[in-house]
Amino acid sequence: MSASPRKFILAIAVLAIFSGVARSQEAPLKSITYRLSMSRPTSHLFEVAIAVELPDQLKDKPLQLQMPKWSPGRYAVFDFAKNVQEFRANGRVTRIDDQTWSVDSAGTNTVNVSYKVFANDLSGTFSQLDERHANYNGASIFMYVVGHKPDPVKLAIQPPSGWKIVNGRMDHAGQTEWNFPNWDVMVDTSTEIAPDWTQETFEVDGKKYHVVVHSFGAEGGKRPSLVKDIEKIVRAEVAMWGPPEFNEYTFLIHYAADDRSGDGMEHLTSTQIIEPGALGEAGMYDSTLGTVSHEFFHVWNVKRLRPEELGPWDFTRPLRTRGLWVAEGFTNYYGHLMLRRAGISSDKKFLEQEAQTIRRIESAQGSKLMSAEESSLSAPFLDDAPHAQIVNLHNTAISYYPKGELIGMVMDLLVRGRTKGRTSLDDVMRRMYDEFYLNSPNSSYYLRGRGYHTEDLERVVSQVSGTDFTDFFKRYVRNVEVLPYEEAFSYVGLRLVKTPAKEPFDAGLAIEFEDRVAMIENVRNGSPAEEAGISAGDEIISLAGREVTKDWLKSMARYKPGDSIPITVKRDRRTIKTNMVLKEVERFDYQIEEKPDATTEQKAMRNAWLKGTRI
Ligand SMILES: [Zn+2]
Ligand SMILES: [Zn+2]
C-alpha cells in the first residue's frame, strides 16, 4: 500500500507538532520528487534526478543533499557516497563533506539535481543494476534533503522496456509512481525491476501476502511448496502477535546462484531475501524458510516495536543502541521457534538448534568480555563491517544475535516457570507492542508510537511474570555471567547436558586455506599458539614436521595435552620456527535432553512453549 492522501495530511500535522526537532524545519519544501532511471543497465549506473520546489522563505538559501552513511537493519558504516558520481545541479555545487553536497540556485523556485550511483551488489543493504534486473535498497541510492527528511516525497521510476516493477507498496500492477509520507518510508520500500520475476499470492485473515521470486538458477519445481510453507510461517507468527498492521505484504526472494550473495532485510510491508544458490539446490529451500521466519517476525519486533534509536535515524554517525539483543536476538529465537510452531521444524530439531547456539556462545572467548548490551553498542563494528585495520574482535566480541537468542529463550522459560505457565515471553512481547507501538503518542514524524529502552523491557517482563527481573538484567544483559540454563530448562522438564568437546587437545588456532596455502586465520588469547608467538596472518610452512592440508586436525589426532609440537611459519620476509605446548580442551558440547523425572505438569508446559498454546 502506498501513502493515501489522508496519511499525507497526518504526516504534515505531525510535522507541525514536531517542527522544533530537526533543523531548517522552518517551512516544509513545496515538493520533493525523485526520478529513477536505468537507461544503460550494463553500466551498473542508476540515474537519479531530484526536483525540489522551494517555498519563498527558502529560495535564497543553499540546499544540502546528503547520502546516508549506513542503512537501517545493517549497522556497519558503508558510506554509500562512495558510489555517487556526476553530481550536477541548476546552481553552484559545493561538496561540503564526504556525504553532503550543497546547491546554491540563487533565487530559483525549483532546484534540480542529478547524479549517478554505481550499484553492482545483490544485497538487502546495497543495490544492483545489470542486464538481468534492477534491485535496490533505497538508502544506498537516494539522497535526502538535509533538514527535510520528514517532508513527503514522490518517486517516479522509468524501467527499461519490458521490465516490471514490484515492491511492498503496490496499489496496482504496472505502477511506476509512488507518494511516500517521508524519505524514510521511501527507502524502506526495497524494489525489484526485471522482465521475469514471478508472483504468487495467498491470504491470511483477510490480508494479502505476495511471494515474488526472481531466480537465476533452476527451481526444481519447489516454488509451489515453498509458498505453502511460507503461509504456514505467516499463520504461526500472526497467531502469536495478532493481526499485522498492513493490508498487503511482499516477500521479495532472490536466488542469486552466485555462491556468495546471501541476506535478509526487514521492511515495514516487505522483506528482501537473497539466497546464494538456486532454489532447486540442496539447502536453499530450508535456508529460505529460516530467513522468512526471522524476517517476518521483524514486522512486529524492530520495524514497529523498536528500540528508541531505531527510527527516525541520524545517518551522519553510526547507530548507538543498547537494544539489538532484543531486536535481533529475540527475533533469532522466535525465528527458530516459529518454524517449530508452524510444523516445519520438530521439537528435536529446535532443541538441537538451541543447544548449538549455547555451544557457540559458551565457547566464545568474547562471552567472558562483552555483554549483550555492549555487543549491541558495538554493532557498527560487528554487523558485516569491513575492517581495514587488523582487529582482535574474534577474541573480544560476541554477536547480539546468538547471545540475544539465548537471553530470549531463558527469559521465556523463566517467565513460564515462575507463573506456572500462565504467561510467557509471547505475552511480554505483545504487551510491549501494545504499550510502545499501538498506544504511545507518536514521538516523531516517522512512525506510530515511541521506541523503548531496555529498562522498559525490564519493567514489562517483571510485571508480566510478577517477579523482579532487575537482577537478571544486571547479571546476564549488562554483565557477562553465564545464563541460568538449568533453572530455565527444569521448568519444562528438560536439562542441559554438558560434555567435554571431542577434541584431543587445544592449540588455540584456526587455519584457513587461500588457494592451497595454509594461513593462520586467528589465534585465541592465552592459547598455546599465542604463547608460541604465532599471529593471525602467518603462513604455515610446516606443523609437526608436515605440510598442512585440509584434514590437518585428523593427522594431529595422535598428540595429547602437554606435547610440544614444532611449527614453522612465514611472516612477511621472516621464517619463524617455534614450538607449541598443547593444552587440555576447555570447550564443551551441549545437549538439551528430557529430564528422567519430568512431571506431567512440566511436559504440559513444554508442549505449550513449543506449540504456542495455552495450558
Ligand atoms: Zn531481481
Ligand atoms: Zn534480523
* Cell numbers placing 182: 517521508
Average pLDDT of span 55-66: 94
Residue 281 · residue 304 · CB < 8 Å: no
C-alpha 219 to ligand 2 mean position (Å): 26
Bridge-based pairing of strands 248-255 and 207-215 is parallel
Lowest mean pLDDT among 5-9, 59-63, 237-241, 358-362: 5-9
For residue 273, how many other CB atoms are within 10 A of its CB? 25
- Which pLDDT does position 555 carry in this prediction? 85
Above 80 in pLDDT, residue 225? Answer: yes
- Please name every residue paired with 435 in a beta bridge, in sequence order, or none if there are none: none
- Which pLDDT does position 26 carry in this prediction? 59
C-alpha R_g of the chain: 26
C-alpha 331 to ligand 2 mean position (Å): 6
Q: Rounded CA gap, 358 and 574, in Å?
A: 40
Nearest to 69 by CA among 121, 127, 153, 125: 125
Query: In this structure, which amino acid lies at residue 606?
Result: R
Could you say which ligand is closest to the alpha carbon of residue 265? Answer: 2
Enter the pTM of the model. 0.94
Per residue in 110-151, pLDDT (tens digit) is 999 999 999 999 999 999 999 999 999 999 999 999 999 999
Per residue in 71-81, pLDDT (tens digit) is 999 999 999 99
Average pLDDT of span 572-594: 97
Above 70 in pLDDT, residue 415? Answer: yes
Could you say which ligand is closest to the alpha carbon of residue 325? Answer: 2
C-alpha 308 to ligand 2 mean position (Å): 17
Query: In this structure, which amino acid lies at residue 510?
Result: A
Above 50 in pLDDT, residue 466? Answer: yes
- Which pLDDT does position 554 carry in this prediction? 86
Above 50 in pLDDT, residue 561? Answer: yes
Above 90 in pLDDT, residue 1? Answer: no
- Which pLDDT does position 458 carry in this prediction? 98
Q: What is the largest CA-CA distance in the chain?
A: 82
- Which pLDDT does position 10 carry in this prediction? 42
User: Which sign, positive or negative, has the C-alpha torsion 270, 272, 278, 283?
Assistant: negative
C-alpha 10 to ligand 2 mean position (Å): 29
Query: In this structure, which amino acid lies at residue 64?
Result: Q
User: How would DSSP label each residue in 116-179?
Assistant: EEE-B--SSSS-EESSS-EEE-GGGT--EETT-TTS-EEEEEEPPTT-EEEETT-SSTT--EEE
Could you say which ligand is closest to the alpha carbon of residue 213? Answer: 1
C-alpha 263 to ligand 2 mean position (Å): 10
- Please name every residue paired with 403 in a beta bridge, in sequence order, or none if there are none: none
Above 80 in pLDDT, residue 312? Answer: yes
C-alpha 207 to ligand 1 mean position (Å): 25
The mean pLDDT value of the chain amounts to: 95
Per residue in 520-559, pLDDT (tens digit) is 999 999 999 999 999 999 999 999 999 999 888 888 999 9
Could you say which ligand is closest to the alpha carbon of residue 274? Answer: 1
Tell me the CA distances in angstroms from 451 to 31, 292, 516, 572, one per residue in order: 29, 24, 50, 50
- Which pLDDT does position 104 carry in this prediction? 96
Above 70 in pLDDT, residue 346? Answer: yes
Q: Which residues are in the CB-under-5-Å shell of ion ligand 2?
A: 328, 331
Per residue in 566-578, pLDDT (tens digit) is 999 999 999 999 9
C-alpha 564 to ligand 2 mean position (Å): 45
Above 90 in pLDDT, residue 24? Answer: no
Per residue in 288-300, pLDDT (tens digit) is 999 999 999 999 9
C-alpha 361 to ligand 2 mean position (Å): 18
Cα 393 from chain centroid (whole Å): 19
Above 70 in pLDDT, residue 17? Answer: no
Could you tell me which residues come within 8 angstroms of residue 585 by beta carbon, excluding any fewer than 6 positions away? 500, 501, 503, 504, 505, 506, 561
C-alpha 251 to ligand 2 mean position (Å): 15
Above 70 in pLDDT, residue 326? Answer: yes
C-alpha 302 to ligand 2 mean position (Å): 8
Could you say which ligand is closest to the alpha carbon of residue 263? Answer: 2
C-alpha 290 to ligand 2 mean position (Å): 11
Could you tell me which residues come within 8 angstroms of residue 566 by beta carbon, excluding any fewer than 6 positions away? 542, 543, 544, 545, 577, 578, 579
User: Which sign, positive or negative, has the C-alpha torsion 24, 27, 30, 33?
Assistant: positive
C-alpha 497 to ligand 1 mean position (Å): 46
Cα 229-232-238 angle, rounded to 5 deg:
145
C-alpha 509 to ligand 2 mean position (Å): 30
C-alpha 474 to ligand 2 mean position (Å): 25
C-alpha 135 to ligand 2 mean position (Å): 20
pLDDT band at 6 (very low <50, low <70, confident <90, very high): very low
C-alpha 41 to ligand 2 mean position (Å): 31
